Structure 1
Amino acid sequence: MSLLTPEDQYRRAETLASLHAGPDVFVIANAWDAGTAKILTALGFKALATTSAGIAHSLGLGDGDITREASLANARTLVGATHLPVAGDLENGFGTTAEQIAETIGLAAEAGLVGGSIEDAVDDAIIPLPQALDRLTAAIEAARALPFPFAVTARAENFLYGHEDLKDTVARLQAFEAAGADVLFAPGLTTEEQIRTITSEVGKPVNVLAGGARLNATVEQLGEWGVRRISLGSNLARTAMSAAIGAAREIAEHGTFEFGKSRVLPHADIERYFG
């Protein structure tokens, strides 16, 4: 049974679909727990997503070590903390067969998600396109069997794994589009030329990963380059973790507490997001 009522899940799904339909670019902000989901909702973001690395690190695990059960339990927490649509980082579908990937989509829907991404990499290796299409098709068919428009994002992982082959990346995204994917995503792009090439060669909404050091562009610029959706991946989670590590290191190594004098919000200001 889904975490949400059928009416609420359909509303959230329709909201996400309308954002993808445009005309404006939007940021889908990646939360990793109920608290960050509430904060991002209060700050005015229009949709949220999970983050595999953020979840894993919060559980004391390495990125890629999280199980499907843990990932979807986290998704349920996020969904329950917001009225916004939430899409899931479903990694490689958490399965080796079409049946397992289809099952993942069904379980994601039960967790309250209204979208999810499927990668074309398994065990840190890009898989051949025919195999990737078989896996993606299983996800799409499972999504289409749901009573609401579950948005399937197809990911071409070339650039994320150091294979900066733009021609092959475009060909994969075009094949994923033809297979019926709702959103196309090639994480790891770093230049305007790469992004404009992809957005000009496909017809479905394109998601771009932003917020890190590799891609220096604003929301407005990315919209001008043809991007419809901007995700943040683990960038917010790593920003929070970096601040905590830096503060703790100062205490452990120097015995000082200077971190509290800069950019730390007062307790009362944070309480306003939860009180």
Structure 2
Amino acid sequence: MTRTITEKRAAFRALHQDGCFLLPNPWDVGSARMLQHLGFQALATTSSGYAWTQGRPDYGVTRDDVLAHLRALVPATDLPVNADYESGFAHEISDLAANVRMAVEAGVAGLSIEDIRADGQPGHYDTATAVERIRAARKAIDQVDAQAVLVARTEILLSDPSRVAEAIDKMVALADAGADCLYAPGLVEKADVMALVRAVAPKPVNLLVMRPGPSLAEIADWGVRRVSVGGGLARAAWGGFLRAAEGLQAGSFDGLAAGASGKQLNEIFANFT
């Protein structure tokens, strides 16, 4: 790899200044390198996609698992990497700050912190607590490299899609607390997305797209700055695997016909050695 961590972070921050870019989510070194080969500008890890590679459910991996994943993925590609860092793997503020510093020291160009409770209790942190946590994460990032992008996430729409106004208000508070980018998974309607964009402007908004719908050009017209797919690519890969494997179980080899060429894959990955 030829780009330094500093160069990756500068490039990643620049992507957030104008326009709209796609931030696909690899789940291992191979998928990250393939996405670089295909010409994407930046990457974001996926907590679910990575957990599935370990044979675990989403939220079933530890902080140390994720840090090892980041330390393998970041130097494997020239693209900036944004880390899906769940809720920072800590409830106590001091522990959250320490964990954020470790992620930045692993070389990520950015990381996201969710508002799902990290103390084993169900639900989400209230706005005041979420603000305190984002302020702590911001301070921890700045102690290592202020160029790294902090993404604040609220997950409340994934459990109750009707709480759009509450989610937007929370995003505004987290933007004021030091988040560089705002992200509310579960926000899908054009009017709601545009309302969030207006509410936190000029700070950028990340939109999660998990199924076919509006084109990237249409989403850009809504004012969204970046688009990610979460575990979407991983689910697509697992879907192909399951269909082929279920065919094998039934005595058919037809599912293997959809596989990529081994020659092509070898040629692509040979460029990274």
Q: Which whole-Å CA distance do the structure 1 matches of 2:126 and 2:7 have between them?
A: 36
Q: Following TM superposition, where does structure 1 have runs of at least 4 consecutive aligned residues deviating by more than 6 angstroms? A: none
TM-score (norm 1): 0.93
SS at match of 2:144: coil
Deviation at 1:272, TM superposition (A): 2.1
Contact 1:13/1:148 (<8 A) preserved: no
The residue that corresponds to 1:267 in the other structure is 262
Contact 1:9/1:148 (<8 A) preserved: no
Give structure 2 stretches of 5+ with no counterpart.
none
The Cα offsets for residues 197-236 of structure 1, whole Å up to 9 and x where unpaired, read as 11121111000001x23x6111111100010011110000
How many positions carry a matched residue from both structures?
Answer: 266
Which of 116, 124, 128 in structure 1 is aligned with 2:126?
Answer: 128
Q: Which whole-Å CA distance do the structure 1 matches of 2:217 and 2:176 have between them?
A: 28
The residue that corresponds to 1:11 in the other structure is 7
Deviation at 1:91, TM superposition (A): 0.2
Report the aligned-residue RMSD.
Answer: 1.6
1:247 aligns with 2:228: no
Q: Which whole-Å CA distance do the structure 2 matches of 1:180 and 1:133 have between them?
A: 9
Q: How does 1:121-160 map to 2 (within 5 A)?
A: 121-122=116-117, 123=120, 124-160=122-158
Q: Which whole-Å CA distance do the structure 2 matches of 1:12 and 1:266 have between them?
A: 31
Q: Which whole-Å CA distance do the structure 1 matches of 2:229 and 2:101 have between them?
A: 25
Deviation at 1:114, TM superposition (A): 1.7
The Cα offsets for residues 222-269 of structure 1, whole Å up to 9 and x where unpaired, read as 1000100111100001110111011101111x20011123x3221112
Give structure 1 stretches of 5+ with no counterpart.
none
Q: How does 1:32-51 map to 2 (within 5 A)?
A: 32-51=27-46
Q: Aligned partner of 1:205: which letter?
A: P
Percentage of identical aligned residues: 34
Deviation at 1:163, TM superposition (A): 4.3
The residue that corresponds to 1:219 in the other structure is 216
Contact 2:25/2:43 (<8 A) preserved: yes
Q: Mean Cα displacement is larger for which, 135-144 or 265-274?
A: 265-274
TM-score (norm 2): 0.93
Q: Which whole-Å CA distance do the structure 2 matches of 1:247 and 1:166 have between them?
A: 40
Q: Aligned partner of 2:205: which letter?
A: V
Which of 221, 235, 245 in structure 2 is aligned with 1:238?
Answer: 235
Q: Which whole-Å CA distance do the structure 2 matches of 1:147 and 1:26 have between them?
A: 23
1:185 aligns with 2:183: yes
SS at match of 2:151: strand
Contact 1:157/1:187 (<8 A) preserved: yes
SS at match of 2:24: strand
The Cα offsets for residues 36-59 of structure 1, whole Å up to 9 and x where unpaired, read as 010000101100111100110000
SS at match of 2:268: coil
Q: Which whole-Å CA distance do the structure 1 matches of 2:184 and 2:36 have between them?
A: 26
Q: Which whole-Å CA distance do the structure 1 matches of 2:226 and 2:161 have between them?
A: 23
